[in-house]
Amino acid sequence: MNTRFTTRRTYTRSGGMHNTFGDFICLHCHNFVSAEMSLSGVHNRNHCPYCLSSRHLDLFEAGDRLSACKARMKPVALTLKRSTRKYAHPGNGELMLVHVCEDCGQVSINRIAADDDNALLMSLAAGRLEDDLRRLLNEYGIAAVGSDEIQFVKRGLFGLN
C-alpha cells in the first residue's frame, strides 16, 4: 500500500517545519482524504478515515517527512494517552490509534480524527492482539486497550458512559 500526497512535504533542516499535512489519496482504499481541519477536527491529518491506514513518512518527529521507508502503516490497536492530571479517572486520557509499519515495524501513535470510521475503531478495540504485536507495543511502552476496557472507547467515541 502506498499513499500519494497531493501536497508535498516542505521540511528543511535550515528552515524548520512548515505545513506538511496536505490532502492525499489513500492508495490502500483509493479514497480521497481531505486535510481540511473542519472535517477532521485535527491539524495534522495523518491517516485515512475510511481504512485507518497511514504511511511511514516521518523519521525524527511528526511531520518531518524524512523517512524513506514509505510503507503502509497498519492500524493495530487503540490506546489511551496518559492524562497529565494527577486525580484523573482511569480511562480519561485521549483515545489514540496505534500504527505499525508493515515494512520496518516502526510503531507510531496518532490522534483519532472526528471523521474516522467508528466501526473500524470499535473492531480494533474489541479484537484480540497477537502476542508478538503485544510484545512489540510493550517495548514501546504502549498499553493497548483491550475488550475489557471497551467502555472507555465508547466514551471516547460517542460520549457514552
Partner 1 sequence: MSAFRTTEPNTGFVTKKSTNTYHIQTGEYSLACTLSTRLKRESDGDPVAIGDFVRWNEAGQLTEVLPRRNQLARRAAQPMPGSYAHEQVIAANLDQVMPVFAAANPKPAWNLLDRYLVSAESAEIPALVVLTKFDLVDGKPESAEILSIAAEYRAIGYEVIVTSAETGLGLEQLRAALSNRLSIFVGKSGVGKSSLLNALEPGLGLKVQQTSQLTGKGRHTTTHLEMFPLTVGGAIIDTPGIREFGLWDVASDDLALFFPEMRPLVGACKFGLGCSHDQEPGCAIRHAVNAGEISPYRYQSYLKLKDEQL
Summarize as ranges the residues that interact with partner 1 (CB under 8 A): 2, 4, 8-9, 11-15, 59, 65-70, 104
Which is nearer to partner 1, 5 or 50 (by Cβ)? Answer: 5
Question: In the bound complex, what is the minimum distance in angstroms from residue 20's beta carbon to partner 1?
Answer: 11
Place of cell 470510521: 117
Question: In the bound complex, what is the minimum distance in angstroms from residue 107's beta carbon to partner 1?
Answer: 16
Which is nearer to partner 1, 58 or 116 (by Cβ)? Answer: 58
Which is nearer to partner 1, 4 or 128 (by Cβ)? Answer: 4
Task: Kindly provide the residue ranges of all beta strands, DSSP E only, lying in the chain, ordered along the sequence.
Answer: 3-5, 24-26, 32-33, 54-55, 72-80, 95-101, 107-111
Place of cell 511511514: 56
21 close to 45: Cβ distance less than 8 angstroms: yes
Cα–Cα distance measured from residue 23 to residue 6, given in angstroms and rounded to the nearest whole number: 6
16 close to 35: Cβ distance less than 8 angstroms: no
Which is nearer to partner 1, 69 or 150 (by Cβ)? Answer: 69
How many C-beta atoms lie closer than 10 Å to residue 148's C-beta?
7
Question: In the bound complex, what is the minimum distance in angstroms from residue 118's beta carbon to partner 1?
Answer: 31
